[in-house]
Chains A and B, each alone.
Chain A
Amino acid sequence: MSPENTRDLPESETSGGLKTDLTLGLPGDSQVQKSGIKRGFSDAVHSNDAKAESQPPSKAQVVGWPPVRTYRKNLMKNGKYVKVAVDGAPYLRKVNLEIYSSYQDLSTAMGDMFTCLIICNVLNERKLVDSANGEEYVPTYEDKDGDWMLVGDVPWKMFVESCKRLRLMKSSEAIGLGSAAPSTPSKGSSTSC
């Protein structure tokens, strides 16, 4: 079973009304897209419905907004940034894989990033667990060939090079995924909850 197109997070039907579909658009945008961003005399429409009035097109088309210096924008582009999605969470993060030196490092960072998750020792293995309901999460990634694999199978550097995006799957969904044993290699001392 391969995961669906990432544009539709599988939990969107059951997450209690949270809008988790990914679309290109500004946060708060609905389907309405205005074609022009200029507000010249003839376009200046005094609309009672402020919502419909204020729908500029997707971010990609507005030059220079938000006003962030090019220098800063370029700096943030460096490094190997991959998106991280967590099943059930309505937001994504991006991580720079280059700043971590091991899988342990990365999983610690995941725990920091997604504050609902904590690292627990389960049968002598470090696992990411939802602190609210005890559900285990398994880190998976999409590699260069588009296949979804379990994190931890290949040497760290090889992983950094081939990883295109990360997804923390509920472990109940991760059955049959990847090619090797589903365990993250632990280094040194274990961490307890």
Chain B
Amino acid sequence: MINYFPEEVLWHVFSFLTSHPDRNAASLVCKSWYNVERFSRGKVFIGNCYAISPERMISRFPRVRSLTLKGKPHFADFNLIPQDWGGNVYPWIVAMAKGSTNLEELRLKRMVVSDESLELLAKSFPNFKSLVLVSCEGFTTDGLAAIASNCRFLRELDLQENEVEDRRGQWLSCFPDSCTSLSSLNFACLKGEVNVAALERLVARCRNLRSLRLNHAVPPDALQKILAQAPQLVDLGADSFVHDPESETYNKLKNVMQKCSSIRSLSGFLDVNARCLPSIYPICINLTSLNLSYAPGIYSKELVKLIHKCKKLQRLWILDTIGDKGLGVVASTCKELQELRVFPSDLHVVGNVAVTEEGLVAISAGCPNLNSLLYFCQQMTNAALITVAKNCPNFIRFRLCTLNPTIPDAVTMQPLDEGFGAIVQSCKGLKRLSVSGLLTDQVFLYIGMYAEQLEMLSIAFAGDSDKGMLYVLNGCKKLKKLEIRDSPFGNMALLADTGKYETMRSLWMSSCGVTFGGCKTLAEKMPRLNVEIINEGDEMEGRPDDRQKVEKMYLYRTLVGPRKDAPDFVWTL
């Protein structure tokens, strides 16, 4: 019946489809739906930039306005991937410029972005509105100057945790006086100075500015002047805070903060002296998001005082200096908490007081809406995890990281299999899981059995045999990304179900038991997978022996065959 609907009706119906999985499903129904869908898709999400080529993307979705691309595998964040591996955005921008795409928004994660790319981007798309770069590298402030100068309708420039070479030019001054459209500006990751006067003028004329995250180089007295111009701010990030609570600047800041009643999200504080925190007390009551994870200068006492005032918090990122007791305060104060991340404050000092299972149990008891967790801890127990699973069945993301990667249950000295088993059994909506601590194949049996919605799994120093990996591959039907390091999984597990990998985005295995021979076999069997080996050693003398173990393997499904930009040290089998 629906085949007789004119295309305009289909079009109208599809305009209500916003999620990618929904659109992907709709496009598979029939040719007519495929065509209507592809012409009406404005937002394209590509989780692995090497799965498809820019040209094919443009030819399928000619009306793309917003593109999201991800490049390097997740473990690149932890120094496991050498420089120059790839993930360059330039070919994408070239192709879209050539194809006269009406690009308005570009969101990149873990990609290499050159100044050349930014310049081409700035000059090729007259309606360009939004640039979001997360964990990218390869550009300098010159590239930012090009964006500022040329993108007349820029609304959003959001730089999160990028490695940017600061040329100390005047990139911020390149925003013309006519630029009044900015609603979001985040340059917290830049290390160099900006022209503070230009910044103040920019903020003053952008009346729609909602989100502003400044870097460390913006001095505290400039901060208070800027806030005075932008009381409508909803999200504020300030790295350079006042040091002296007796100073004039501190008083001014305190006064101006009281007027910023719209602020719901706060971050930065890299450089804060705890005695100056009272200046932000007035806005704490309205805060829904607080990121103090870059503020090692705030210790338990001050943190607790601050947290007591933040009763509406939904998201909290903190350092483990908060301690178990501090987490207890969070648990009794922040009843609406949904997301908690506790980062390690010091990776080098032995005996540093971190958090333990007690803090986590307290949180689970006090915050029933918790659905997302990242928890770096000194130790854990099965009993605690079982309690957490019972208290919080709504976890979507659960990432636990014990500082000692193979530490057993702190009380029973048993593996942590039962604890994680309880989590996957109780949290039926779990999509992302990272496990750590002493773990046997048993935990993977549980994961395979119960984690029906799991899409991403991270494994390190875990398992006893191939069975572990097989439980996961056989059981988790929705698995998209699997990353494994330092675990005893080998060829048998890798080759048991080769078709599985075409249903997944990617698989990473490093310091495991797979060999060259195994990887070669897989590559031969599955032409629509790229099986890449990363070689960092001196094994340039021909191909190594088939029996030799592979240090790092990254495989992913692709429609366009081996990539042409692979560096010398990456071999596509």
Residues of A within 8 A of B (CB): 22-29, 37-41, 43-44, 46, 50-51, 53-56, 59, 62-73, 75-76, 78-79, 83, 90-96, 98-101, 105, 108-109, 112-113, 115, 188
In the complex, the chain B residue whose C-beta lies closest to that of A34 is B406
Decide yes or no whether B460 CB sits under 8 A from chain A. yes
Known: A67-B460, A71-B161, A95-B297. 17 other contacts (CB 8 A): A22-B351, A37-B486, A40-B549, A41-B490, A53-B406, A63-B80, A64-B79, A72-B161, A75-B294, A76-B294, A76-B345, A91-B352, A92-B349, A96-B297, A100-B243, A112-B300, A113-B300
Structural contact, B163 and A51, CB atoms closer than 8 A: no
Structural contact, A44 and B406, CB atoms closer than 8 A: no
Structural contact, B78 and A53, CB atoms closer than 8 A: no
Structural contact, A90 and B351, CB atoms closer than 8 A: yes
Given contacts A101-B243, A112-B299, contact A40 B404 (CB under 8 A): no
Residues of B within 8 A of A (CB): 75, 77-80, 135, 161-163, 189, 243-244, 246, 270-275, 293-294, 296-297, 299-302, 343-354, 376, 378-379, 401, 403-408, 413-415, 438, 460-461, 463-465, 485-488, 490, 511-513, 549
Q: Which 7 A-B pairs have the closest CB atoms?
A: A64-B78, A54-B406, A44-B488, A26-B404, A71-B161, A39-B488, A91-B351
Structural contact, A67 and B403, CB atoms closer than 8 A: no
17 A-B contact pairs sorted by A residue (CB < 8 Å): A22-B351, A41-B490, A41-B513, A44-B465, A53-B438, A54-B407, A56-B405, A65-B405, A68-B347, A69-B77, A70-B77, A71-B135, A73-B347, A83-B349, A98-B271, A99-B272, A113-B300
A91–chain B nearest beta-carbon distance, Å = 5
Given contacts A28-B379, A69-B77, A100-B243, contact A50 B490 (CB under 8 A): no
Task: List A contacts of B272 (CB < 8 A).
Answer: 99
A94–chain B nearest beta-carbon distance, Å = 6
Structural contact, B490 and A92, CB atoms closer than 8 A: no
Structural contact, B408 and A51, CB atoms closer than 8 A: yes
Q: In the bound complex, what is the Cα–Cα distance between A28 and B410 (angstroms)?
A: 9
Contact of B378 among A27, A38, A78 (CB under 8 A): A27
Task: List B contacts of A22 (CB < 8 A).
Answer: 350-351
Q: In the bound complex, what is the Cα–Cα distance between A79 and B296 (angstroms)?
A: 11
Task: List A contacts of B274 (CB < 8 A).
Answer: 109, 112
Task: List A contacts of B270 (CB < 8 A).
Answer: 75, 78
A75–chain B nearest beta-carbon distance, Å = 6
In the complex, the chain B residue whose C-beta lies closest to that of A46 is B464
Task: List B contacts of A56 (CB < 8 A).
Answer: 404-406, 461
Q: In the bound complex, what is the Cα–Cα distance between A63 and B536 (angstroms)?
A: 14
Task: List B contacts of A105 (CB < 8 A).
Answer: 243-244, 273, 275
Structural contact, A69 and B161, CB atoms closer than 8 A: yes
Q: In the bound complex, what is the Cα–Cα distance between A160 and B432 (angstroms)?
A: 45
A69–chain B nearest beta-carbon distance, Å = 5
Contact of A43 among B353, B379, B403, B488 (CB under 8 A): B488
Contact of B296 among A24, A41, A51, A96 (CB under 8 A): A96
Q: In the bound complex, what is the Cα–Cα distance between A131 and B465 (angstroms)?
A: 53
Task: List A contacts of B293 (CB < 8 A).
Answer: 72
Q: In the bound complex, what is the Cα–Cα distance between A78 and B271 (angstroms)?
A: 10
Q: In the bound complex, what is the Cα–Cα distance between A49 and B408 (angstroms)?
A: 11
Structural contact, B351 and A115, CB atoms closer than 8 A: no
B494–chain A nearest beta-carbon distance, Å = 13
Contact of B343 among A46, A72, A188 (CB under 8 A): A72
